[in-house]
Amino acid sequence: MNQVPAQLETKSHYEILDGLRGVAAILVVTFHIFEAYANDNRFTQMINHGYLAVDFFFLLSGFVVAYAYDDRWGKMTQWDFYKRRLIRLQPMVIMGTIIGALLFYFQGGTLFPIINQIPVWKMLLVMLVGFTMIPLTPGLDIRGWQEMHPLNGPAWSLFFEYIANILYALIFRKFSKTLLSIFVVIFALLLIHYTVMGPQGDVIGGWSVDKTQLNIGFTRLLYPFFAGMLLCRVGKLIHIKWAFAVCSLMIVIILFMPRIGGPEHLWMNGLYESFCIIILFPLIVSIGAGGKIKSKSGIKVCKFFGDISYPIYITHYPLIYLYTAWVVDNKVPMAYGIWVGLGVLILAVTIAYACLKLYDEPVREWLRKRYLVKKA
C-alpha cells in the first residue's frame, strides 16, 4: 500500500521564540543550582524569580499551539491533535523519569532521609506511573517533598500543560476572539487576586496533589496559556531590531529581580509577578514573534537553544536533587560549590543534547511514521 503522510504541512518556526525558550530553560537550571544555597528562604535566594520561567513557558506554549493548530481543525480530529502533542512531549517525559529513577538512591541523606527506606519495588512503581503523567498523591511520596512526580519534580508543569491542551481541543479553540478575551481577563483577575491577596505574595507552587497546590497550578496555567493563544489570534506583533537580544535581556532582568517588599509587604511582590506575567511576558512574545534574525550564526544559536529547551527542562532536575543533597548534607559553601554547580549545568546541557539526538528525535520520527501516516 502507498503511504500517505497524515502529517500536516510544516509551518515556519519563530526562531526567536525558540531561542527565548532555551534562554529561559538555561535560567531555570541556574536558578535551581543557586536554590541549593537559599536555606529554603524565598526572600533571599539568588535569581529570585527564576520560577517565573514556568509561567513564561505556559504563555509560549499557548501561542505556539494556537499558531500550529488553529487553522487545521478541518484537516484533523481531536484524536489526531492529541497524538501529535503526545508524540511531541511524552518521549522526554519518560526519559526524565528514567533518569530520575537511575539517580534516586544516590540522593539519600539528611536532605532526603526517607529515600534510604524506600524499597526498590515502590520506586519502580512510581517510575511506571510517572511514565503516564498520572499525578501521585502524597501517600505515594518517596522523597519527602510531596511532589506529584517525585522522581522528576518539573513534570508537574507537563501535567498542567496536558490539561491546557485538552481544554484547548475540547473548548477554547471554538471561542471567538471576544469570548476568549473575556476568559483571559477573568484568568488575569484570578492571578492578581492570588498573588496580591494570597498568603505567599508569589506564584511558587503547583507540584502537589492537594487543594492549595492544585489551586496554584491552575492559577499559573490558565492566564498565560490562553493569553498566549489570544496573542497569536490577535496577531499584534512588534518589530524591532535586535529582538532576540532585547527579549533575552528582559527575561534575565525579570528573573533576576530581587524579592520586592519583604515578608511585611507580600502584596508588593505579588503585584510585580502579576505585572510580569500579564504584561511583560506577552510583550516579550510579541517582540520575539515579530523579530527577524538575518545572520546564519544567530539562527544557529536560536535553533540550538530551542532544540535543547524542552530536553534540558525535563531532564535536569534529578541532577539538582543530587547536587542539592550534596550541598546541604556536606554544608558546602557557595564559593566552592558553585564551581561544581557550573559542572552540573554543563552536564545538564550535555545530557539534554544527547537525549535529543540519540533518543527524542529518532523516537518521535518512528512514532510519526507509525501513528501519523495513513495507508492510501
Q: How far apart are CA 210 and CA 208, in angstroms?
A: 6
pTM of the model: 0.95
Model confidence at 171: pLDDT above 90: yes
Q: How far apart are CA 267 and CA 272, in angstroms?
A: 9
DSSP-derived pairing of the beta strands 373-375 and 3-5: antiparallel
Model confidence at 338: pLDDT above 60: yes
Contact 344, 30 (CB under 8 A): no
Instruction: Check residue 335 and report its DSSP letter.
Output: H
What domain range includes position 126? 3-375
Q: How far apart are CA 110 and CA 105, in angstroms?
A: 13
Please, which pLDDT band fits residue 137 given cuts at 50, 70 and 90? very high
Q: What is the pLDDT of residues 46-92, one digit of tens each?
A: 899 999 999 999 999 999 999 999 999 999 999 999 999 999 999 99
What is the domain count for the chain? 1
Tell me how crowded residue 173 is: count the other CB atoms within 10 A of its CB: 17
- Residue 241 dihedral angles phi and psi, to the nearest 5°: -75, 155
Helix (H) or strand (E) holding 358: none
- Residue 131 dihedral angles phi and psi, to the nearest 5°: -60, -30
Please, which pLDDT band fits residue 306 given cuts at 50, 70 and 90? very high
Q: What is the pLDDT of residues 150-170, one digit of tens each?
A: 999 999 999 999 999 999 999
Closest CA to 22 of 325, 308, 332: 308
Q: Quick one: angle between helices 15-35 and 334-355, nearest 10?
A: 140
Q: What cell does 67 get?
A: 499558531
Contact 163, 179 (CB under 8 A): no
